[in-house]
Amino acid sequence: MSGARAVSRPFDHTVRYVVVNADDLGSSTGINRGIVEAHHRGTLTSTSLMVNMAASQDAADLTRDLPALSVGLHVNLTDPAGQPLVDLETGARCREVLQQQIDTFQGFMGRLPTHIDSHHNVHRNPQLLRYFLEVAERYELPLRSHSPVRYCSKFYGQWSGETHLEQISVQGLIRLLETEIAAGVTELSCHPGYCDPGLRSVYGRERETELQSLCDPAVKEFLSMRRIRLVNFVEAMDLVSVSHE
């Protein structure tokens, strides 16, 4: 496993563990700033970097020296203009693009990613999944939904084209932490950030609401009361390894 190593600790079966991971690092300077703020002020422990965006270098510069923040690769199979880099019907060029993005990540961060996921979870595509699994195995990295870390995507404030801020409010987040964080280790994905002109996304003002919720002191208080421990991906995989010894 790459990145800062966690100190090995016993796996406590009375504690629930959660990795709070922000997707879309690198998509704009406002997103980068919000993700770093959510780490410093809130409950964010991990993030995933898009390496082929205009703000990717800015993202790497902001996060490279944050030892408690795990930084993975958020594979993006389109270019900055939104044009596809891979044939989604056949998987053609997927292997090459994945390797290019792994190499670019190493150039930005000076190390391998701590984990792998993908923009819009495109790795779920059956034509692409085998290439993602191949890379994850080669570099011994956890791939979202294909590792011992359970994945929860319900902290999201938009569906059916409508905004649902109640889902990503402080109380919405606390409710999810209470009901969706099971025994073992769970990744809770999120999309915090500040909207700026460089952001190309229909998910806009919801990001600022997510940021506010992740930074609210009531969330940390709830985690402490319910014995839910925040960990990053390096610590998570360390815990999973200990639990199977």
Residue 193 lies inside a defined structural domain of this protein: yes
Residue 231 lies inside a defined structural domain of this protein: yes
Per-block mean pLDDT, blocks of 10 residues, the chain (245 long): 48 87 97 98 98 97 98 96 94 98 98 98 98 98 97 96 96 97 96 90 93 98 97 96 71
The pLDDT value given to residue 244: 63
What are the angstrom distances between the C-alpha of 77 and each of 50, 86, 92, 187, 230?
A: 10, 6, 12, 22, 30
The pLDDT value given to residue 14: 77
CATH number of the domain encompassing residue 134: 3.20.20.370
Residue 44 lies inside a defined structural domain of this protein: yes
**For residue 244, what are the contacts with CB-CB under 8 A and spacing of at least 6?**
148
Q: How many domains are there within the chain?
A: 1
Q: Report the predicted TM-score, pTM, of the whole model to 2 decimal places.
A: 0.94
Both structure tokens of 144: 């979202």
Both structure tokens of 116: 């792998």
User: What domain range includes position 196?
Assistant: 16-243
Residue 5 lies inside a defined structural domain of this protein: no
Alpha carbon dihedral 209, 72, 188, 153, in 10-degree steps, equals: 80
Q: Yes or no: say if 51 and 24 are a contact pair by the CB < 8 Å rule.
A: no
Residue 10 lies inside a defined structural domain of this protein: no
User: HSE on the CB side for 53, CA within 13 Å?
Assistant: 27
3-state secondary structure 11-28: CCCCCEEEEEEEEEECCC
Residue 159 lies inside a defined structural domain of this protein: yes
Q: Yes or no: say if 19 and 232 are a contact pair by the CB < 8 Å rule.
A: yes
**For residue 203, what are the contacts with CB-CB under 8 A and spacing of at least 6?**
157, 158, 191
User: HSE on the CB side for 239, CA within 13 Å?
Assistant: 22
Residue 22 lies inside a defined structural domain of this protein: yes
Residue 2 lies inside a defined structural domain of this protein: no
Both structure tokens of 63: 């996060």
Distance CA 53, CA 121 (A): 17
- Which run of H or E residues covers position 190? strand 184-190
Q: Any alpha helices (H) in the chain, and if so which ranges?
A: 29-41, 56-63, 94-109, 126-139, 170-180, 205-214, 217-225, 233-243
